[in-house]
């Protein structure tokens, strides 16, 4: 129990940096297909295979296994579970190194006093739950110095966000985009072909885009309905529960590339393939509804989140450009979810009407808060979301 609580604390530190969820646990997914080929093995300084590089920094199998605490005795983890855990750990390490390299470039950004304050705050939280920092560090093979470094990265993350979302910058954005807070809401459905933000290649991205372009041609020609194409091809894990998304506003609920493309559509229209950090989307607008314009203070609270998230994304992009990522381990893509059976019907399935009349419904699943940035850079190492264009909660 103590170890679990402590890992939750460390997880919250890292979540503030990642600002995204990891892929669903392999335990909740069907077994993924294992790699059929193997990349040449490169041994790192610790004698174990190198899984990836962040610039010149090695991410080795031994370091990753220590991080995910692979059992050294007792039953071994199934191969597919271990591989997926290693994939997630490599993605998380990429995030950590982006902030570490940025911190080294800006050593005055974090003071010793600020780190001490973060550490004391963490100790207080642990003590309130009846735990001691020293015991838990020992249980997790982490030194206090290593923990202080992690806490420093949290300070870096917070300061980058705060600097980008000053009152002056928020006011400037609001004046330039005031019309986009007019209360208009959309309901859409989409087809997602995922491209992993770390392991995906330019070829993967082009293939996903081409597949959606072909699907749009088939839908436009009447060879298949949008709904049928979504059931057969979409890799958004949420579509099995609720295919329609929304209602949502222009800002604050969806990644910007997705929202911008969606708001350019009228009911019944289908977008061109749209890229986000989740992969590529084909979006169909179901309905638009007007509403009350957001009061300035409400709009500015959303803008503050958007600007701070944009700044974090810019940091990640810049550090990735300075420290190119190389992946040596094989990537195992999770399987598509099994679609639920269609309800019995005596009528043939028809395409959605060009101008459907619908009463916007409340979302059937929680929609995260403001997100940021498109996923245009295929080397961009962000922790992988579960699928779909919604943004993760801000820390």
In a domain, 263, yes or no: no
pLDDT of residue 4: 36
In a domain, 267, yes or no: no
Mean pLDDT of the chain: 79
pLDDT of residue 137: 85
Total domains in the fold of the chain: 1
Per residue in 336-350, pLDDT (tens digit) is 767 767 666 544 444
pLDDT of residue 83: 93
pLDDT of residue 385: 33
Per residue in 131-148, pLDDT (tens digit) is 888 877 887 778 899 999
Is the pLDDT confidence value at 35 over 70?
no
**How far is 367 from 362, CA to CA, in rounded Å?**
10
Query: Which residue range(s) make up the domain with 107?
Result: 2-164
Per residue in 207-265, pLDDT (tens digit) is 999 999 999 999 999 999 999 999 999 998 777 778 899 999 999 999 999 999 999 99
In a domain, 133, yes or no: yes
In a domain, 100, yes or no: yes
In a domain, 48, yes or no: yes
Is the pLDDT confidence value at 92 over 70?
yes
pLDDT of residue 109: 94
- Which phi and psi angles does 184 have, rounded to 5°? -65, 135
pLDDT of residue 161: 96
In a domain, 214, yes or no: no
Per-residue confidence band for 375, with pLDDT thresholds at 50, 70 and 90: very low
pLDDT of residue 238: 79
> What average pLDDT does this structure show over 33-57?
78
Query: What pTM, to 2 d.p., does this model score?
Result: 0.74
Pick 40 or 107 by higher pLDDT: 107
Is the pLDDT confidence value at 379 over 70?
no
pLDDT of residue 39: 58
> What average pLDDT does this structure show over 361-390?
35
Q: Write out the chain in H/E/C secondary structure.
A: CHHHHHHHHHHHHHHHHHCCCCCCCHHHCCCCCCCCCCCCCCECCCCCEEEEEECCEEEEHHHHHHHHCCCCCCCCCCHHHHHHHHHHHHHHHHHHHHHHHHHHHCHHHCCHHHHHHHHHHHHHHHHHCCCCHHHHHHHCCCCHHHHHHHHHHHHHHHHHHHHHCCHHHHHHHHHHHHHHHCCCEEEEEEEEEECCCCCCCHHHHHHHHHHHHHHHHHHHCCCCCHHHHHHHHCCCHHHHCCCCEEEECCCCCECHHHHHHHHCCCCCCECCCEEECCEEEEEEEEEEECCCCCCHHHHHHHHHHHHHHHHHHHHHHHHHHHCCEEECCCCCCCCCCCCCCCCCCCCCCCCCCCCCCCCCCCCCCCCCCCCCCCCCCCCCCCCCCCCCCECCCCC
In a domain, 125, yes or no: yes
In a domain, 135, yes or no: yes
């Amino acid at each position: 129990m103590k170890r679990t609580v402590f890992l939750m604390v460390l997880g919250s530190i890292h979540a503030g940096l990642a600002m995204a969820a990891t892929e669903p646990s392999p335990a909740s997914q069907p077994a993924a297909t294992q790699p059929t080929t193997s990349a040449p093995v490169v041994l790192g300084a610790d004698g174990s295979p190198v899984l990836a590089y962040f610039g010149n920094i090695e991410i080795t199998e031994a370091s990753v296994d220590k991080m995910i605490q692979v059992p050294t005795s007792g039953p071994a983890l199934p191969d597919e579970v271990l591989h997926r855990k290693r994939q997630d750990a490599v993605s998380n390490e990429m995030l950590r190194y982006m902030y570490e390299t940025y911190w080294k470039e800006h050593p005055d950004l974090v003071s010793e006093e600020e780190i001490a304050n973060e550490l004391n705050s963490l100790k207080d939280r642990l003590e309130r739950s009846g735990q001691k920092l020293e015991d838990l560090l020992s249980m997790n093979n982490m030194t206090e110095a290593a923990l202080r470094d992690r806490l420093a990265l949290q300070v870096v993350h917070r300061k980058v966000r705060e600097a980008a979302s000053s009152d002056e910058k928020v006011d400037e954005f609001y004046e330039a985009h005031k019309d986009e807070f007019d209360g208009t809401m959309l309901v859409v459905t989409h087809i997602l072909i995922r491209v992993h933000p770390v392991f995906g290649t330019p070829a993967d991205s082009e293939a996903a885009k081409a597949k959606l372009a072909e699907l749009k041609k088939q839908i436009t020609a009447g060879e298949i309905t949008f709904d049928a194409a979504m059931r057969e091809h979409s890799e958004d894990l949420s579509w099995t529960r609720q295919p329609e998304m929304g209602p949502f506003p222009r800002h604050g609920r969806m990644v910007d590339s997705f929202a911008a493309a969606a708001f350019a559509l009228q009911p019944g229209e289908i977008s061109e393939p749209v890229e986000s950090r989740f992969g590529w989307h084909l979006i169909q607008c179901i309905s638009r509804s007007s509403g009350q314009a957001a009061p300035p203070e409400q709009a500015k609270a959303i803008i503050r989140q958007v600007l701070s998230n944009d700044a974090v994304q810019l940091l990640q992009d810049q550090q990735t450009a300075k420290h190119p990522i190389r992946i040596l381990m094989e990537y195992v893509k999770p399987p598509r979810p099994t679609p639920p059976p269609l309800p019995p019907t005596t009528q043939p399935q028809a395409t959605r009407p060009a101008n459907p009349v619908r009463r916007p419904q409340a979302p059937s699943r929680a929609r995260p808060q403001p997100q940021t940035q498109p996923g245009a850079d295929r080397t961009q190492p962000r922790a992988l979301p579960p699928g779909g264009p919604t943004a993760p909660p801000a820390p």
